[in-house]
């Protein structure tokens, strides 16, 4: 039997958690020895490995499982592309300046921080339970601390409504809020000026002349859209299909302060799923329709609430809460991916965008929000972008970005059609011929029928916009009823876009995985699932003595062959300290080699969370740990295969 572990003996301690990640170099401020740059972080060895494993899982879960077409497009992008996409005009945040210091703040963040502080002060004044950690932390950090001050009930209600709808406000509305509620810079208590737009794209210039403006992409999406025709061709001209890309993007955030949750450079994973606008069903929707998810829909938020409800995705689509099956299918796939890598499903919800929040062209949009010490954070967006992107790029470049589909049944139509005698037309009307042709071709069916009748009588007159009249006879034009057969349907596909911020997922995953041993709050553990843990197995020889080397090498080689990533820790410190270090690094299993290992060819297997130890022959233990890492068995099953280690074997030097 595996031991039972109490992971919630100690409350989550953000300071201890941050210190652990920093000490173990999961990540650290970039350019730290130069004083750092806000919003830029470097990943160290465990952070890089964790990120690589998350990406690997993402590739398997989405690209391989769904047969998506992977792309790798450039970050540097000429200005014209983002002029077309709307980013040059609209990809901006509202910033306000402190009227005295000139410090720049994001307007919506200012509103959020100040109102949350006031609400926290109110709760304290009312003697309610201690404010949740988010406000606690804010108050410690900010110069403008929350004052314990009771608010009128209707003020509390008003603040809560504002916060629930915060993403719905325009810049001028945010300015209005600052004036009305006397919101000042919490660091200085100074007033702030009117909100101004700041474009979040980093700008540069391409080539030696300095004349070609370029931007660093703020998302990978445009690189997909611009390659649409090649992708469609690669997919033999058929939709639906999806392209996928994992890569770096950049946003020149105004005042990033939230660690990995708001950075200026980040790795994204984006999917663009191209679908027939007339048929957004999904062939695999039936596989997921009964899966229940936590939803926070648009109507609830617009009513000023943030109450969620649990519903199967099938019901949500049936009721029109989620716009279509394909969107619903991806929401579930996102959910399954996040839970599979270790996100706590109880701290995961899907929030629908409100009307003002959504891009004007989008049909529907849901964010996967993950709860963490700072509140709920958007980690994945899932939007139905309709035909917007392909349409605007097509209009701008003159290149059709469409699907041409052979119709099973050709569509047959009959209509009245002008037949011209070009020779007579030219002879009679010279340069007016084009105008006349245009006038007649633009007529609707009833008008053409009228014309037909008049021509049958001998002649008719058409009139141009500027009032010029032209007399036409059957020598110039006749109107005939003709049959048309359309065998190709041409359409611009709609795009469903699941877009993942990998840094935010990585950070929240670390938070959800962190706890301290019941017996000792100083002993932190990262319970990362084996599938994403940076190192799967730690090999721990009792000491750095040479006599252990052959076994260390044998076990390393066998694990490598089994595809299990291991590391050896033969540093000059106790086994206990080495394991404690690797508990902080999230290494799920340890193999200890001691003096009994040499004659007996046995090793002990340690599980990180329980610290249980089992014993077995080298090959048995390697086979078991391989299955544990692959996820085909769990620790409970491993305990049935391998007897408990009774400690007798230890240190028999």
Note whether 632 binds a second copy by CB under 8 A: no
Q: How far is CA 451 from CA 263, 277, 446, 470, 577, in A?
A: 67, 38, 9, 13, 96
**Tokens at 647, concatenated:** 């400690």
Q: Pick from 211, 236, 457, 519: which binds a second copy (CB under 8 A)?
A: 236
Find tokens 């899932």 and name the residue.
Answer: 382
Site for a second copy in 161-220 (CB under 8 A): 198, 202-209, 212, 214, 216
Residue 81 or 477 having the CB closest to a second copy? 81
Q: How far is CA 490 from CA 2, 237, 277, 407, in A?
A: 61, 12, 11, 10
> In angstroms, rounded to a whole number, what is the distance separating the alpha carbons of residues 509 and 513?
6
Residue 188 or 312 having the CB closest to a second copy? 188
Q: State yes or no: cis peptide before 240, omega within 30 of 0.
A: yes
Alpha helices in 86-182, H assignment, sequence order: 87-90, 107-125, 133-141, 153-164, 171-180
Residue 37 or 156 having the CB closest to a second copy? 37
Q: How far is CA 123 from CA 126, 132, 250, 405, in A?
A: 5, 10, 39, 62
Q: How far is the CB of 95 from a second copy (least distance, A)?
A: 6
Of 259, 372, 373, whose CA–CA distance to 29 is shortest?
Answer: 259
Residue 131 or 532 having the CB closest to a second copy? 532
Q: How far is the CB of 418 from a second copy (least distance, A)?
A: 35
Site for a second copy in 391-450 (CB under 8 A): 393, 397, 399, 401
Q: What is the DSSP string of 234-288?
A: HTTT-SSEEEEEEEEEE---SS--SGGGS-SEEEEEEEEEEE-TT----TTHHHH
Residue 427 or 560 having the CB closest to a second copy? 560
Residue 75 or 291 having the CB closest to a second copy? 75
Residue 51 or 649 having the CB closest to a second copy? 51
Site for a second copy in 37-76 (CB under 8 A): 37-38, 40-45, 47-49, 51-52, 64, 67, 69-76
Please write down the long-range contacts of 20-28, taking CB distance under 8 Å and 24 or more positions apart. 20/514, 20/524, 20/526, 20/584, 21/47, 21/510, 23/584, 24/581, 24/584, 24/585, 26/50, 26/510, 27/260
Site for a second copy in 369-398 (CB under 8 A): 393, 397
Q: How far is the CB of 327 from a second copy (least distance, A)?
A: 24
Q: Are 183 and 192 in contact (CB under 8 A)?
A: yes
Enclosing H/E stretch for 29 = strand 27-29
Note whether 30 binds a second copy by CB under 8 A: yes
Residue 218 or 328 having the CB closest to a second copy? 218
Residues 6+ apart with CB under 8 A from 311: 292, 293, 295, 321
107-125 and 171-180 helices, crossing angle to 10°: 40
- In sequence order, the β-bridge partners of residue 242 are 273
Residues 6+ apart with CB under 8 A from 13: 516, 521
Residue 170 or 203 having the CB closest to a second copy? 203
Q: How far is the CB of 260 from a second copy (least distance, A)?
A: 12
Of 337, 352, 315, whose CA–CA distance to 531 is shortest?
Answer: 337
Note whether 19 binds a second copy by CB under 8 A: no
**Tokens at 357, concatenated:** 């929040």
User: What is the per-residue binding string for a second copy in 305-344, x denoting contact by CB under 8 A?
Assistant: ----------------------------------------
CA angle 560, 562, 564 (to 5 degrees): 60
Q: How far is the CB of 279 from a second copy (least distance, A)?
A: 20
Q: How far is the CB of 452 from a second copy (least distance, A)?
A: 43
Residue 266 or 337 having the CB closest to a second copy? 266
Enclosing H/E stretch for 371 = strand 364-372
> In angstroms, rounded to a whole number, what is the distance separating the alpha carbons of residues 53 and 532?
5
Residue 216 or 603 having the CB closest to a second copy? 216
Q: How far is the CB of 137 from a second copy (least distance, A)?
A: 24
- CA 573 from chain centre, in angstroms, equals 42
Residues 6+ apart with CB under 8 A from 457: none
> In angstroms, rounded to a whole number, what is the distance separating the alpha carbons of residues 156 and 197?
29
Note whether 269 binds a second copy by CB under 8 A: no
Site for a second copy in 83-102 (CB under 8 A): 95
Note whether 252 binds a second copy by CB under 8 A: yes
Residue 29 or 277 having the CB closest to a second copy? 29
Q: What is the DSSP string of 370-436?
A: EEETTEEEEEEEEEEEETHHHHHHHHHH-----EEEEEEEEEEEEEEEEEE-HHHHHHHHGGGHHHH
Quote the DSSP letter at residue 90: H
Residue 32 or 547 having the CB closest to a second copy? 32
Q: How far is the CB of 248 from a second copy (least distance, A)?
A: 6
Residue 243 or 494 having the CB closest to a second copy? 243
Q: Which stretch binds a second copy (CB under 8 A): 180-188, 244-252, 298-306, 329-337?
A: 244-252
Q: How far is the CB of 84 from a second copy (least distance, A)?
A: 8
Q: How far is the CB of 430 from a second copy (least distance, A)?
A: 38
Q: How far is the CB of 204 from a second copy (least distance, A)?
A: 5
Q: Pick from 3, 19, 89, 234: which binds a second copy (CB under 8 A)?
A: 234
Q: Pick from 6, 18, 31, 482: which binds a second copy (CB under 8 A)?
A: 31
Q: How far is the CB of 198 from a second copy (least distance, A)?
A: 5
Q: Pick from 57, 161, 168, 229: which binds a second copy (CB under 8 A)?
A: 229
> In angstroms, rounded to a whole number, what is the distance separating the alpha carbons of residues 568 and 531?
19
Number of residues located near a second copy, criterion CB under 8 A:
76
User: What is the per-residue binding string for a second copy in 549-578, x denoting contact by CB under 8 A?
Assistant: -----------x--x-x-x---x-------
Q: Which stretch binds a second copy (CB under 8 A): 113-121, 151-159, 245-253, 309-317?
A: 245-253
**Tokens at 93, concatenated:** 């945040």
Enclosing H/E stretch for 222 = helix 221-226
Q: Pick from 254, 268, 321, 537: which binds a second copy (CB under 8 A)?
A: 254
Note whether 78 binds a second copy by CB under 8 A: yes
Strand pairing of 76-78 and 375-386? unpaired
502-513 and 14-23 helices, crossing angle to 10°: 110
> In angstroms, rounded to a whole number, what is the distance separating the alpha carbons of residues 591 and 535?
13
Q: Which stretch binds a second copy (CB under 8 A): 34-42, 117-125, 371-379, 447-455?
A: 34-42
Site for a second copy in 462-521 (CB under 8 A): none
Q: Pick from 175, 195, 218, 223: which binds a second copy (CB under 8 A)?
A: 223
Note whether 304 binds a second copy by CB under 8 A: no
Residue 237 or 453 having the CB closest to a second copy? 237
Q: How far is the CB of 264 from a second copy (least distance, A)?
A: 7
């Amino acid at each position: 039997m595996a031991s039972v572990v109490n992971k919630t003996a100690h409350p989550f301690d953000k300071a201890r958690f941050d210190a652990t990640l920093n000490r173990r170099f999961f990540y650290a401020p970039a350019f730290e020895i130069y004083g750092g740059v806000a919003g830029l972080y470097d990943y160290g060895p465990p952070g890089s490995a964790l990120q690589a494993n998350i990406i690997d899982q993402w590739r398997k879960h989405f690209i391989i499982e769904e047969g998506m077409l992977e792309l790798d497009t450039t970050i540097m992008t000429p200005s014209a592309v983002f002029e077309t996409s709307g980013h040059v005009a609209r990809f901006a945040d509202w910033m306000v300046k402190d009227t005295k210091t000139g410090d720049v703040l994001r307007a919506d963040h200012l509103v959020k921080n100040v109102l949350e502080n006031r609400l926290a002060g109110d709760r304290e004044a009312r003697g309610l339970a201690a404010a949740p950690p988010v406000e606690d932390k804010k108050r410690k950090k900010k110069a403008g601390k929350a004052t314990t001050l009771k608010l009128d009930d209707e003020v509390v209600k008003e603040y809560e409504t504002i916060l629930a709808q915060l993403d719905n406000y325009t810049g001028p509305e945010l300015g209005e809020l600052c004036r009305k509620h006397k919101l000042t810079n919490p660091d200085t208590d100074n007033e702030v000026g009117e909100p101004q737009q700041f474009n979040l794209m980093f700008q540069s210039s391409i080539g030696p002349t300095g004349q070609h403006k370029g931007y660093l992409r703020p998302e990978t999406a445009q690189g997909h859209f611009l390659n649409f025709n090649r992708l469609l061709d690669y997919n033999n001209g058929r939709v639906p299909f999806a392209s996928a890309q994992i890569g770096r993007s950049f946003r020149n955030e105004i005042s990033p302060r939230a660690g990995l949750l708001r950075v200026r450079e980040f790795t994204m994973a984006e999917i663009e799923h191209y679908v027939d606008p007339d048929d957004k069903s999904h062939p695999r929707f039936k596989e997921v329709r009964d899966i229940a998810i936590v939803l926070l829909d648009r109507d609830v938020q617009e009513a000023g609430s943030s109450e969620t409800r649990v519903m199967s995705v099938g019901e949500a689509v049936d009721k029109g809460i989620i716009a279509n099956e394909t969107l619903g299918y991806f929401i579930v796939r996102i959910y399954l991916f996040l839970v599979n890598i270790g996100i706590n499903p109880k701290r995961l919800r899907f929030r629908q965008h409100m009307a003002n929040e959504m891009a004007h062209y989008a049909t529907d949009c849901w964010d996967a929000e993950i709860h963490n010490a700072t509140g709920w954070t958007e980690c994945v967006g899932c939007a139905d972008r309709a035909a917007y992107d392909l349409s605007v790029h097509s209009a701008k470049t003159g290149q059709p970005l469409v699907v041409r589909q052979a119709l099973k049944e050709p569509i047959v139509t009959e209509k009245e059609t002008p037949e011209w005698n070009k020779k007579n037309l030219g002879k009679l009307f010279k340069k007016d011929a084009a105008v006349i042709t245009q006038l007649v071709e633009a007529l609707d069916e009833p008008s053409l029928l009228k014309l037909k009748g008049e021509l049958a009588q001998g002649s008719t007159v058409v009139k141009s916009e500027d009032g010029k009249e032209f007399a036409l006879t059957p020598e110039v034009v006749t109107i005939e009823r003709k049959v048309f057969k359309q065998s190709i349907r041409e359409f611009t596909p709609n795009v469903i876009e699941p877009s993942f911020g990998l840094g935010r997922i990585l950070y929240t995953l670390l938070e959800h995985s962190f706890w301290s041993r019941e017996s000792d709050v100083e002993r932190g553990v990262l319970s990362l699932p084996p599938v994403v843990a940076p190192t799967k197995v730690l090999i721990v020889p009792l000491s750095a003595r040479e006599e252990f080397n052959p076994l260390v090498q044998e076990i390393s080689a066998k694990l490598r062959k089994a595809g299990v990533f291991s590391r050896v820790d033969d540093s000059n410190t106790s086994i206990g300290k080495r394991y404690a270090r690797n508990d902080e690094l999230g290494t799920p299993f340890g193999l200890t080699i001691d003096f009994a290992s040499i004659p007996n060819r046995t090793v002990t297997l340690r599980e990180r969370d329980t610290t249980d130890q089992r014993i077995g022959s080298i090959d048995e233990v390697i086979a078991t740990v391989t299955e544990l890492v692959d996820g085909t068995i769990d620790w409970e099953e491993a305990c049935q295969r391998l007897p408990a280690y009774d400690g007798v074997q230890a240190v028999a030097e």
